[in-house]
Amino acid sequence: MNLEDFSYDLPSHLIAQYPEKERTDSRLLVFNRGEGTIHHDYFRNIGHYLLRGDVLVLNNTKVIPARMEGKKLTGGKIEILLLERKDERTFLSLVRNAGKKTALHVEIGDVRVSLSKQNGQWLLILPHGERDFQKLLSYGKPPLPPYIKREVEDLDFERYQTVYAKVEGSVAAPTAGLHFTESLLEELEAKGVEILFITLHVGLGTFAPIKTEKIEEHKMHREQFSVDREVFERLYRAKKEKRRIIACGTSTVRTLETIFSEKEKRLAGYTELFIYPGYKFSAIDALITNFHLPKSTPLVLVSAFAGKENILRCYREAIKNGYRFFSYGDAMLIL
């Protein structure tokens, strides 16, 4: 498959720059795979499409304020985005304005860190560990994606985070979950929907662009996940009882498919699973997702689940009806 097959034209004014005033005010495009139908609704009504006994799986990763601005000891400014924690003191990072140097000392607030370029990758090294890390985060900002063309504002500290975020570690939000409120989740539970949580720390694997012409040649960057044993057992029981498992977000899909597709069940570790058309799904029956960038791995994943032509038809319908796209945009429910 060619990368160009996953392209589409999006008017720039449909790229959401701010979230809706209320999380559940986002619009919801409902696509029924069996019937091939498209229905327009609002996210607050998502319970109309879920049944008693359904299992809704959410990613409870918590976004860290991973975007930093530092000062070189020579006085120049430098921009840093933390990507992945390698150990207590070391973080894989993206760095801008480093010049040609491969080693630097940088001050971020009152924390002095070292930057070292190894094998083409930047590592940020803290002098001590957890105490320095928490202090470092106090100087950081939410890592809004580059298509949001404005400065970070106070609202982003709350809204670029799900209401159920718990386990610190992501450098991008699992955006399909941004539409839920605590009251909506309580409403679903009262209806008899079982709500379970997994963790996948969203990183470079999710937002790195595909650079190969052939989809199959793309290699995903690894992302860390974990699933409690009890959660896995409840998911396994639901599958045996033929109850629907509804994944919220592509990060949740990749986690569930990783643990269900492997012969030896790993409930923690790293996944490099790349899902593209032709993939045989083992875990999920339905998917809540946002509208994704052209030629991106999340778009390829939802195309594998619903069919590329179906997804592109849904996207054309969404564009025609003025849906808002990407992280702060509207949502899809694929049944």
Q: Answer yes or no: is pLDDT of 263 > 80.
A: no
199 and 127, same domain (yes or no): no
pLDDT for res 189:
98
Whether 46 and 121 map to the same domain: the answer is no
Q: How many Cβ atoms from other residues are within 10 Å of residue 190's Cβ?
A: 9
Q: Is the pLDDT of residue 264 over 80?
A: no
Contact 68, 97 (CB under 8 A): no
Distance CA 146, CA 287 (A): 26
Q: Based on the domain organization, do 75 and 54 belong to the same domain?
A: no
In a domain, 231, yes or no: yes
Q: Quote the pLDDT of residue 335.
A: 98
Residues 212, 276: contact at Cβ < 8 Å? no
First to last CA, the chain: 25
Same domain, 324 and 264: yes
What is the arithmetic mean of pLDDT over 26-37?
A: 98
Strand partners, 289: 332
Give a yes or no: residue 147 inside a domain: no
Residues 263 and 120 in one domain: no
- Over the stretch 267-276, which tens digit does the pLDDT of each residue have? 999 999 999 9
* Chain-centre distance for alpha carbon 152: 19
234 and 305 together in one domain: yes
Q: How high is the pLDDT of residue 203?
A: 86
Structural contact between residues 204 and 100, judged by C-beta atoms closer than 8 angstroms: no
pLDDT at 246 over 80: yes
Whether pLDDT at 205 is above 80: no
pLDDT above 80 for 74: yes
Out of 105, 140, 175, a domain closes at 140
Query: Cα separation of 91 and 82, whole Å?
Result: 6
- Return the pLDDT at 273: 95
| Alpha helices (H) along 145-194 | 154-159, 182-191
Does residue 32 lie in a domain region? yes
Average pLDDT over all residues of the chain: 95
Residues 334, 114: Cα–Cα separation, whole Å = 46
- Residue type at 99 in one-letter notation: G
Q: Global pTM?
A: 0.95
pLDDT class of 206 with cuts at 50, 70, 90:
confident
Question: How many whole angstroms separate alpha carbon 78 and alpha carbon 134?
Answer: 20
Q: CA–CA separation, 185 vs 233, rounded Å?
A: 22
User: What value does the mean pLDDT take over residues 118-142?
Assistant: 90
Element holding 317 (H helix, E strand): helix 308-320
pLDDT at 309: 98
For residue 151, tell me if it sits in a domain.
no
Residue 317 lies in a domain: yes
Is 145 part of any domain? no
Same-domain check for residues 136 and 246: no
> Are 184 and 315 contained in the same domain?
yes
pLDDT band for 324, please (50, 70, 90 cuts): very high
Positive or negative: CA dihedral 293, 159, 90, 257: negative
Domain span holding position 204: 3-63+156-334
CATH of the domain at 34: 3.40.1780.10
Which of 42-56, 191-205, 260-274 is the least confident region?
A: 260-274
- Last residue of some domain: 114, 140, 166? 140
Could you tell me if 99 and 211 lie in one domain?
Answer: no
**Residue 231 shares a structural domain with residue 290:** yes
Residue type, 86: K
59 & 76 share domain: no
Residue 150 lies in a domain: no
How confident is residue 86, by pLDDT bands cut at 50, 70 and 90?
confident
Closest alpha carbon to 81 in 99, 67, 64, 98: 67
Query: Long-range contacts made by residues 82-87, C-beta under 8 angstroms, separation at least 24?
Result: 82/124, 82/140, 82/171, 83/171, 83/203, 83/204, 84/171, 84/201, 84/203, 84/204, 84/224, 85/169, 86/123
Residues 42-66, mean pLDDT to the nearest whole number: 98
CB neighbour class for 269 (10 Å; exposed up to 12, middle 13-18, buried from 19): exposed
Q: 28 forms bridges with which residues in the sheet? A: 41, 331
What CATH number is associated with residue 103? 2.40.10.240
Number of neighbours of residue 267 by Cβ within 10 angstroms: 15
Residues facing 96 on adjacent strands: 79
Going by the DSSP 8-state scheme, the letter that residue 110 receives in this structure is T
User: Does residue 90 form part of some domain?
Assistant: yes
CA 268, CA 262: separation in Å to the nearest integer? Answer: 13
Q: What is the pLDDT of residues 229-240, one digit of tens each?
A: 999 999 999 999
Asked whether residue 50 falls in the same domain as residue 177, the answer is yes
User: Does the pLDDT value for residue 204 go beyond 80?
Assistant: no
**The predicted structure's pLDDT at residue 262:** 78
- Percent of the chain residues past pLDDT 90, beyond the cut: 87
**Least confident window among 7-21, 115-129, 165-179, 316-330:** 115-129
Range from 25-39, 134-148, 204-218, 241-255 carrying the lowest mean pLDDT: 204-218
What is the rounded CA–CA span in Å between residue 134 and residue 39? Answer: 45
| Domain boundary residue, one of 78, 107, 140 | 140
Residue-wise pLDDT tens digits, 167-176: 999 999 999 9
In the chain, how many domains are there?
2
Query: What confidence score (pLDDT) does residue 310 get?
Result: 98
Q: Is the pLDDT of residue 92 over 80?
A: yes
**Residue 14, pLDDT score:** 98
